[in-house]
Amino acid sequence: MSPEAIVTQAQQTECAGITYTYTEPTIFMEIAHDTAKIANSKGMFNTFVTNGYMTPEAVDYIAPFLDAASINLKGSANKEFMQRYMDVPKSEPIYNSMVRMKEKGIFIEITNLIIPEIGDHGDDTGTLAEWVVENLGPRTPLHIIAFSPTFKITGLPRTPARMLEKHIKIAKEAGLTFVYSGNIGGHDYENTYCPECGFKAIERYAVYLKKNHLNDQGRCPKCNADLNIQGVRWMGEGTSRLKFF
């Protein structure tokens, strides 16, 4: 499909935006860029789900058209784990990308896959969370997600809920406000709780939104606290960036 055809199909199916994912988007950066540029000009949002392993030039290339990015880490970015299981020689470019994206006004969320036995590094979760607090801010959403055996790693068990909860606790103690569980449908940490008054502001089940209680400004309906939720308000043709609710 051409970039034009992708955007046209997204419009025809009334999508508010396009996410570049499943295959790492930097693999097809040129077509992502050209598609995002057209989508942006039509008032749609663009988001990446990425491993974050990119050059500063790549970040700058996509930044004018990229509204948000989910940076996917694994094994709490433990150096030995990344070298052995991901063929990532060094993780510095990923951290540099996140800082540069933040500087460019791209909304960032981070995902961290916890894998039993080989990718269950509590100390590294603490180090990662501290880095996020310091460099991206304490309100940056962090998703601690469960592994399930597939493809080349079939000899390990699914990540148990208590293991995720251990890492969530560590990340919260390091100062992060919004830490979520992932890949365990029905887990309480899928929901967004207001850090000020404790109200359950957004209810989710797995990848589904069950109830959104946010007020018209995208804030807590009970105490009006800002929950750092980015949402799309359809502003019509010619608008570009993600707007608050």
**Which listed residue (169, 172, 222, 243) binds Zn ion by CB under 5 A?**
222
| Residue 208, both tokens | 């589904």
Angle, helices 29-41/3-12, rounded to nearest 10 degrees: 50
* Residues pairing with 68 in the sheet: 47, 107
Q: What's the Cα-to-Cα distance from 203 to each of 98, 190, 206, 227, rounded to whole Å? A: 28, 7, 10, 14
The binding track of 155-194 with respect to Zn ion, each residue x by CB under 5 A or -, is ---------------------------------------x
Least gap, CB of 73 to Zn ion (angstroms): 29
Minimum distance between the CB of residue 119 and Zn ion, rounded to whole angstroms? 34
Residue 213 lies near Zn ion (rule: CB under 5 A)? no
Residue number, 143 or 219, with CB nearest to Zn ion: 219
Q: Which stretch binds Zn ion (CB under 5 A): 159-167, 182-190, 199-207, 229-237?
A: 199-207
- Strand partners for 48: 20, 69
**For Zn ion, which stretch binds (CB under 5 A), given 3-11, 23-31, 45-53, 215-223?**
215-223
Residue 223 found at the interface with Zn ion (CB under 5 A): yes
x/- letters, 133..152, toward Zn ion (CB under 5 A): --------------------
Size of the site for Zn ion (CB under 5 A): 8
Alpha-carbon distances of 45 from 13, 108, 212, 217, rounded to whole Å: 15, 14, 20, 19
Q: What share of the chain is helix, strand, coil (3-state, %, to 5)?
A: 35, 20, 40
Interface with Zn ion, residue 196, by CB under 5 A = yes
User: Which of 197, 206, 215, 217 is in the footprint of Zn ion by CB under 5 A?
Assistant: 197
Length of the chain: 245
Find, among 135, 63, 129, the residue nearest to 95 by Cα: 135
Verify binding: residue 1, Zn ion, rule CB under 5 A: no
Judged by the rule CB under 5 A, the positions of this chain that interact with Zn ion are: 194, 196-197, 199, 220, 222-223, 225
